[in-house]
Amino acid sequence: MRISIIVAASLFGLASAASAVTDTNSIAYRLARHDPLSLAAQVGQKMFYDASLSGSGRLACTSCHDPDHAYAPANDLAVQPGGKDLSLSGTRAVPSLRYKQVIPPYTDLAENPDGVSAPGPGGGYTQDGRAATLAEQARIPLLAVNEMANESPAAVVAKIHASDYASLFEQAFGADIFSHPDTAFQRATEALQAFQLEDYSFHPFSSKYDLWARNKIGGTFPAQEKRGFAVFMNRQKGNCSACHYPGPGLQGTNAMFTDYSYAAIGVPRNPNIPANRKPGYYDLGICSRPDHATRAAERFCGMFKTPTLRNVATRHAFFHNGQIKTLHEAISFYNTRDTDPQRWYPTVHGVVTKFDDLPKRYRANIDTQMPLDGRPPGSGPPMTEQDIDDLEAFLNTLTDDYEAPPAAP
């Protein structure tokens, strides 16, 4: 399995040192700097905090992407409220906006960086990859009926024109920009993209893991975190690295803890999502995309993009439907989905209805990689309870804004 040997070895006492980021031309170096924001990014920053850009006048980007919670929701709701009077609900759990700076566009056959898995769906923004850039992604919540609920791109532009940063928008994009609403809307989405790319807080690389990787704190990880990393890498236990690749990210950036691949893991249906109360409704992941709603794409139905594990310990709702609420539970689901299915799925007339959120005709798409290897109910799971605790301890090292304790005198 191809991993970042230098980083992993140095972190866990297998080598003496790791290389610090010193190349001033590298993306990693530039992303770590606190340069002043460009005019476009300054516009994006204003937009990001502006609730008047929503149909309700009460919903800003920060309402769902709270800067104090790694740009993820501050609450434990599975889906967030939206619409013109905030009475509608989303259909998927809101992801963090951190570490989105180098995701490649979606393709059905992406190379898998683990060097083991066959090429498959990968890349793109949103959980089904339908947006190729952050700017394209920004269009979705601005116009979605159950999110910010603007009736048209022109309506968004009109609100920006009436805002107190209209002159800044003109400075960034031209004095006559508001005379061209379609172009202005495109520039607005590019401004949101610029803010997310330029502002340090979207990719601080300031976790305990990062400090160790850059030799900012000495020694090796404590024993439990070290054991947790071993579980993370062990193909017969956690096997997390198969999808949450811990090697260098794209274009030489720091470890992203995702390979941007897709998988159907059979998360239990969440009855608290209003859309799930409709008979026959299923969120089919990739197959929910308009351009993939075809018979040829059925082999991808139920697959969702692998998120980064950075800041995973700060989340309050897990997986695409937010059905699971704690990190410990999320790990336990991977461990016992097959060995103890009644723990996760409803029992109807004495029969466990496994994979109840995916139609039967698509269940061949379910991932069978360890630890989701289909072992029989009642058999031993891949991980012990100690393994789960250790893995959770390691994943906590991926939380940003870590402050090392003072050195002993």
When the pLDDT of each residue in the chain is averaged and rounded to a whole number, the result is 88
pLDDT over 70 at 6, yes or no: no
Cα distance between residue 78 and residue 91, in whole Å: 9
Residues 305, 129: contact at Cβ < 8 Å? yes
What per-residue confidence (pLDDT) applies to 212? 84
Q: Are residues 246 and 185 in the same domain?
A: no
Question: What integer pLDDT is reported at residue 114 of this predicted model?
Answer: 65
- Among residues 144, 172, 203, which one ends one of the domains? 203
The answer to whether residues 265 and 211 belong to one domain is yes
Consecutive H or E run containing 305: strand 304-305
User: Does residue 81 have a cis peptide bond before it, meaning omega lies within 30 degrees of 0?
Assistant: no
Residue 119 is assigned to a structural domain of this protein: no
Does residue 261 share a domain with residue 181? Answer: no
Q: Which of 152, 176, 203 is the last residue of a domain?
A: 203
pLDDT tens digits, one per residue of 270-295: 999 999 999 899 999 999 988 876 66
- 375 and 309 in a single domain? The answer is yes
Give domain status of residue 105, yes or no.
no
Residue 367 in domain = yes
* CATH code of the domain in which 362 resides: 1.10.760.10
Q: Do the domain assignments include residue 110?
A: no
Q: Say whether both 179 and 230 belong to one domain.
A: no
Same domain, 287 and 353: yes
pLDDT of residue 248: 61
pLDDT > 70 in the chain, percent: 86
Same domain for 61 and 3?
no
Same domain, 230 and 332: yes
Q: What is the pLDDT confidence band of residue 3, given thresholds at 50, 70 and 90?
A: very low
- At a CB cut-off of 8 Å and minimum separation 6, what does 43 contact? 165, 168, 169, 172, 173, 188, 191, 194, 195
* Mean pLDDT value across residues 172-176: 98
Q: What is the pLDDT of residue 25?
A: 39
Same domain, 284 and 359: yes
Q: Assess whether 287 and 363 both reside in one domain.
A: yes
- 215-219, Cβ contacts within 8 angstroms, sequence gap of 24 or more: 215/10, 215/17, 215/18, 215/20, 216/404, 217/404
- How many domains does the structure of the chain reveal? 2
Question: Same domain, yes or no, for 6 and 42?
Answer: no
State pLDDT tens for residues 46-74.
999 999 999 999 999 999 999 999 999 99
Residue 308 CB partners (closer than 8 Å, separation 6+): 96, 98, 99, 244, 256, 257, 258
**For 131-145, what is the mean pLDDT?**
97
Q: Of 84, 114, 122, give the one whose Cα is nearest residue 1.
A: 114
Least confident of 119-128, 195-204, 399-408: 399-408
| Residue that wins the pLDDT comparison between 313 and 102 | 313
Query: Which of these, 207, 96, 186, 194, lies nearest to 139 by C-alpha position?
Result: 186
Q: 208 with 330, same domain? A: yes
Q: Which domain holds residue 244?
A: 1-19+27-34+204-402
- Rounded CA-CA distance 189/194 in Å is 9
Instruction: Transcribe 228-283 into DSSP letters.
Output: HHHHHH-TTTT-GGGTS--SB-GGG-SB-S---BEEB--PPP-TTSGGGGSTT---
Q: How far apart are CA 91 and CA 82, in angstroms?
A: 11
Domain assignment of residue 289, yes or no:
yes
Domain assignment present for 172: yes
Of 176, 203, 230, which closes a domain?
203
For residue range 85-136, what is the model confidence (pLDDT) as tens digits? 999 999 999 999 999 998 999 999 888 766 667 789 999 999 999 999 999 9
Q: Tell me: pLDDT of 371 over 60.
A: yes
The packing angle between helices 166-173 and 181-198, to 10°, is: 90
For residue 101, is it within any domain?
Answer: no
Residue 187 counted as domain residue? yes
Cβ-proximal residues to 363 (8 Å cutoff; 6+ apart), any chain: 266, 302, 355
